[in-house]
Amino acid sequence: MSAGEGSKSFVDAVGKGERGFVVKNSVFLPFHFELISIWAGKEMSLLAAPELMVDFCDAPDIGVREGRSYTNLVFRKWKNIQHELGHHKGHIVIHAAEKGADLFDKANLHYIRISFRDDRKELQFELIDNPFEL
């Protein structure tokens, strides 16, 4: 299913290699989505497990704001998410569907990995099959 009217498709944005950016504890994504859950944390290892966030209604840990052509996620637990997850130290994984898509159709559900690279404030995106096989 395509993105809802006025929405920006994440499948299209990822396929075109669009980039997002980070400012302090806030990430800006160049697309919209129907959010199911978010994992945030250090790169996977035998000792590290990502933090799963699923309740976004007045959540104290994360804020979600949608603009006309972007989505902004604010991670309130961190003062500087680039410092915490940059230099390949970690990532964010979003479990989502395209805006307006049927959440009950598994074909519409995707995992989007958000990577923090180098010292740049740019974010890279990729669609992945399983967030536990990174």
Dist. CA 14–CA 94, nearest whole Å: 13
Task: Write the pLDDT tens digit of every residue in 93-127.
Answer: 999 999 999 999 999 999 999 988 766 789 999 99
Distance of CA 77 to the CA centre of its chain: 16
Q: What does the domain layout of the chain look like in residue ranges?
A: 10-128
pTM of the model: 0.82
Task: Write the pLDDT tens digit of every residue in 33-58.
Answer: 999 988 877 665 545 556 666 666 66
SS3 96: strand
SS3 84: helix
